[in-house]
Structure 1
Amino acid sequence: MSSIAANTWTRNILDRLDINPKVKCRAQKAGYVSAIRILGASQSELQHKLELSEFHIKNLTAAVASYALPKQETAWEMATQIEAKTHLTTGCPCLDVFLSGGVAVGGVTEVSGQSGSGKTQFGLQLALYAQLPRSLGGIAKGVAYICTESQFPVVRLQQMIGHMKLKYPQGPKSYTDNIFVHHVPDMDCLVDCVRYQLPALVSRHNVGLVVVDSVAAAFRVEEDSGEMNRSIPLQAMGYRLHHLAASYGLVVVTLNQVTAAMGTVSLYGIRGDVTPALGLSWANLITTRLMMTRTASYRPAIHGKMQLMHHGPHSSGKNVMEFNSAGSSRKLLAAEYNVSGGVSDISVMISDNKFHIRDKIYDSGAGGDPGCILGIV
C-alpha cells in the first residue's frame, strides 16, 4: 500500500464526510475518526460505542466506504459522459456559439467581475431560460438561487419575466414559482446549505440550475481566520457542488467578486489591475470561468478583435472575448470564456447598438432582449 493510500485509511476523515453533524460529533468523541477504525468495527460495536441507531451507523459506514473506495470509471464511460452533456442557453446566440451550445450541464461555471459588470443580471437570465422547454434551449427545470450579499433583485426579475412572456409565450405560466431563493449570511451557513439543504431541494422540486450569488462574499468575511482555515470549507463546498452536478445533471453557476492585484496583470488576455477572488484554492475547483469587466463608454463605432482560445476536455487554453456597445449610457463588457474547440481570431465591429461578427449581426439595442448580457444591463 502506498503512503498516499495508507494516509487515506488512517487519517481523520470525519470533516470530509457528508453526514449528520450529530453522528460526526459522536464518532469524534469515541475516537472513531479514520476509515480503518470505522470500517474495521462491527455494526453492534459502533452502535454501542457511539450510542446511535442502526440507521445512523449504516449511513456512517456507507459514507466512509464511499470516501475510502471511490467509484471507478473507465475512460470509455468518461468519454461517453462528455459526449452526452447538454447545455443551457444563455439567451444570447453569440455567447452560445462561443460556449459550444451554452452553459454546460455538469461541472461548476464561474462568472467573475467587478461590481456593476452584470454578474447578477447573467444569473437572473439563466434562471429564466432554464425554465424554458428544451426545444428553446432551456432544460425545463426549476432553479435554486442562493444569495449571500444583498436582497434578491425581485424588481429586476419581474421586468425580465415580462419580457420573457412576450418573447416565449410557450414558456411556464409562472416563472417565480420555479425559483427557490435562499439567503445565507456566512461561510458555515453556505457550506451547510450546499451539503444538506440543496440536495433535498434538488430531488424534491426537480431543480436543474443552481446559482450562488456570490461565493466570495461568504468566504471573504472569514479572511481573519487565515487562508488555510478558509480553504478547507471552500474545497468541501466545491467538491459537493461537483458531486451534485454529476449526480443530478445540474447546471451550477457561481458568481465571484474580484480582488486588487499588485500592478497591472494580464489574465487570459485581459490586462487590468484585478483578479478573481479566492485565489487558487477556488480556481482549481471550477471547470469554466467567465470574466466580465466594465470599461468606459464611447460614442463612435468601435472596432475591435476577439481572440478565442478555447479550453475543454480535448484541448487547453482560454477563450477571450472583448466587446463594446456604442452610446455614452451603455456598459462596455469584456468576457473570458473557457470552452471546447480550437484557437481562432474574429474581427468585430460595434455600431448602432449592434455588434457584427464576420457576416452575422446580433442585435443588442433597446429593442433586443433586456436580459441579454450583451445588451443594456
Structure 2
Amino acid sequence: MEQVAKRLGLSSKLEQVGLDSPNDVLIKTVGELQKLLNTNEAAILELFQAAAMELYPWKTKRQSINNTNSAETVPVDNEVIDRILGGGFPLGSVTEVVGESSSGKTQLCLQLCLSVQKPDIPCSGGAVYIHSEGQLPTVRLDQLAHAYGQKYNMDPNTLKRTIHTMHIKDREMQYRVLCYQLPVLLARRKNIRVVVIDSISAPYRGDNTVNNNDRFERINEICDIGSRLKRIAYEHNVAVVVINQVSDTVVTSTTSSDIIKNISNNRNGHGPPDELLASWMDFNLEGFDKSPLSVFWTSLTKKPVLGKSWATSVTTRIRLARSIMTDMARTRRALFVEFSPLVPRHGCEIVIDDVGVRGRVP
C-alpha cells in the first residue's frame, strides 16, 4: 500500500489524517477518504485494492492465476454461461450477483449449489445457503434437484441435504452468522465449496437512519462484513456468492410510457438517454441480432444498494437484467459480467425453465 500511496502522492496526507495501516484505510468509505485525502474516486479505489492485498496476502495466489490464465472455478452446468464466466464462479474470492426482482438471481445461485456437487468436477463439494429474503424457495429447489438427479443419476434428497441452509432474521443476526458462525462451520465441514448469501442487503432494508453516528456504524459494519468474507473465501478456498438488490435511477426526461413504447416497437431509433447507457456500450452480448442493450437498459442503469463501501469488498460482479414486464411482449433476461479480474466484460441472454438457468444460443 505504501508504494501505491507514494505513486498517487498520498503518503503525506495519509500520515496527516492518521491512516497508518491498511485496516485504517479499509474501514473508511470512499466518500470519507475522498474528503480526507482530497483526491478522486479512482485513486481511492486503487488505494483500497492495495490495502486489501496487503491485509490479506493473496499475491501468490493471484500470480498463479495470472500465469495459468485460469482460476479454479465452480461451474453452473451450462456451457454458454460457464464460458462467459471463465469456467464458473471463482474459488477464493467474493462474487456479487446483482439485479432487480425476477431477474433470476436466486435461481442462478440455487443451481450453483447443485452443480458444485457433481462428482466429475475438481472442486466437487457441499454448499451453504444463507437466506434472509423470506422463506427458502423449497419448491423450486425440489424441482431443480430432481432435474439434476435425473441428468446425472444422483439422489435428489442427497443433493438437497448437502446444502446447509440458515435463515437470517435481522441485521444483528446476519453479522453474528457471517462473522463468527460461518467460519466455524467451514472449519468443520471442509468439503464445502460454495457459500451463498441471499441477500446481503435485505437486513438493511427500511433502515432510514438519519443519525450520523448510526449511519457511520452501519457503514463500518458493512465494510467489516466485506473484509471478513474476503478472508473466509481465501482461507477456506470457497466461492462466496453474495446476492444484492438494486435501486432505481431517477430519469426525469423519459416517462415510463415512453420506455414501454420505445422497447415494444423501437421505431425511429428512439431509446434510453445516452448518458445512462454510456458505461455499457462496450459490451458484447450474445443471443441477439440487433440492438441488444435497448431491451435491458432500465435494469442496467439501476444501482446496486449498500453503495461504494460495499462494492470495494467485491472481486467480481455479475449483473442479471430483465426487460420491462408488460402484456405486449415476453420477458427477456440477460447475464452480464460487469467487472472481473479474470474475464472481460461480456454477457449473454438467458432463459429460465424447469431444468434451471441456461444461456440462449443465437
TM-score (norm 2): 0.65
Question: Are the counterparts in 2 of residues 121 and 373 from structure 1 also a CA contact under 8 Å?
Answer: no
Amino acid at match of 1:372: V
Match of residue 318 from structure 2: 290
User: Quick one: structure 1 residues 114 and 371, their matched pair in 2 at CA, closer, same or farther if it must change by over 3 Å?
Assistant: same
CA positional deviation for 1:373: 4.3
Equivalent residue pairs, number: 275
Amino acid at match of 2:318: L
Amino acid at match of 1:281: S
Match of residue 233 from structure 2: 245
- Looking at structure 2, the residues matched to 144 and 92 of structure 1 have their Cα atoms a distance apart, in angstroms, of 21
Aligned ranges 1:78-117 → 2 under 5 Å: 78-80=62-64, 82=66, 83=68, 85-117=71-103
The two structures, once aligned, show a CA RMSD in angstroms of 3.7
CA deviations 1:20-66 (Å, max 9, x no partner) are xxxxxxxxxxxxxxxxxxxxxxxxxxxxxxxxxxxxxxxxxxxxxxx
Corresponding residue SS for 1:372: strand
List alignment gaps of at least 5 residues for structure 1: 17-66, 300-326, 356-363
Query: Which residue among 275, 280, 289 is the counterpart of 1:268?
Result: 280
TM-score (norm 1): 0.63
Aligned ranges 1:193-272 → 2 under 5 Å: 193-205=177-189, 206-224=191-209, 227-263=215-251, 265-266=276-277, 267-269=279-281, 271-272=297-298
CA deviations 1:217-260 (Å, max 9, x no partner) are 11234332564332111111111111011111110111111101
- Looking at structure 2, the residues matched to 141 and 341 of structure 1 have their Cα atoms a distance apart, in angstroms, of 24
Question: Are the counterparts in 2 of residues 131 and 171 from structure 1 also a CA contact under 8 Å?
Answer: no
CA deviations 1:143-162 (Å, max 9, x no partner) are 11111121011111011110
Match of residue 166 from structure 2: 182
Corresponding residue SS for 1:336: strand
- Looking at structure 1, the residues matched to 141 and 122 of structure 2 have their Cα atoms a distance apart, in angstroms, of 17
- Looking at structure 2, the residues matched to 5 and 170 of structure 1 have their Cα atoms a distance apart, in angstroms, of 59
Corresponding residue SS for 1:180: strand
Q: Which has the higher contact order (CA 8 A, sep 6+)?
A: 2
Corresponding residue SS for 2:127: strand
Question: Are the counterparts in 1 of residues 336 and 345 from structure 2 also a CA contact under 8 Å?
Answer: no
Match of residue 336 from structure 1: 336
CA deviations 1:263-283 (Å, max 9, x no partner) are 163353463252211111112
Aligned ranges 1:129-208 → 2 under 5 Å: 129-133=115-119, 135=120, 137=121, 139-169=123-153, 174-205=158-189, 206-208=191-193
CA positional deviation for 1:298: 10
Q: Aligned pair 1:124/2:114, yes or no?
A: no
Corresponding residue SS for 1:215: coil
- Compare the two structures and name the one with the higher helix fraction: 2
Question: Are the counterparts in 1 of residues 116 and 125 from structure 2 also a CA contact under 8 Å?
Answer: yes
User: Quick one: structure 1 residues 260 and 164, their matched pair in 2 at CA, closer, same or farther if it must change by over 3 Å?
Assistant: same
Which has more radius of gyration?
1
User: Quick one: structure 1 residues 177 and 278, their matched pair in 2 at CA, closer, same or farther if it must change by over 3 Å?
Assistant: same
- Compare the two structures and name the one with the higher strand fraction: 1
CA positional deviation for 1:294: 1.7
Moved more, 213-222 or 247-256: 213-222
CA positional deviation for 1:100: 1.1
- Looking at structure 2, the residues matched to 72 and 296 of structure 1 have their Cα atoms a distance apart, in angstroms, of 44
Question: Are the counterparts in 2 of residues 161 and 175 from structure 1 also a CA contact under 8 Å?
Answer: yes
Question: Are the counterparts in 1 of residues 114 and 145 from structure 2 also a CA contact under 8 Å?
Answer: yes
- Looking at structure 1, the residues matched to 352 and 112 of structure 2 have their Cα atoms a distance apart, in angstroms, of 20
User: Quick one: structure 1 residues 208 and 234, their matched pair in 2 at CA, closer, same or farther if it must change by over 3 Å?
Assistant: same
User: Quick one: structure 1 residues 262 and 189, their matched pair in 2 at CA, closer, same or farther if it must change by over 3 Å?
Assistant: same
- Looking at structure 1, the residues matched to 15 and 77 of structure 2 have their Cα atoms a distance apart, in angstroms, of 46
Question: Are the counterparts in 2 of residues 112 and 257 from structure 1 also a CA contact under 8 Å?
Answer: yes
- Looking at structure 2, the residues matched to 275 and 115 of structure 1 have their Cα atoms a distance apart, in angstroms, of 13
Amino acid at match of 1:214: S
Question: Are the counterparts in 1 of residues 75 and 82 from structure 2 also a CA contact under 8 Å?
Answer: yes
Match of residue 370 from structure 1: 355
List alignment gaps of at least 5 residues for structure 2: 3-10, 28-51, 252-272, 282-292
- Looking at structure 1, the residues matched to 82 and 125 of structure 2 have their Cα atoms a distance apart, in angstroms, of 19
CA positional deviation for 1:211: 0.3
CA positional deviation for 1:138: 6.6
- Looking at structure 2, the residues matched to 280 and 77 of structure 1 have their Cα atoms a distance apart, in angstroms, of 26
Runs of 4+, deviation exceeding 6 Å: none
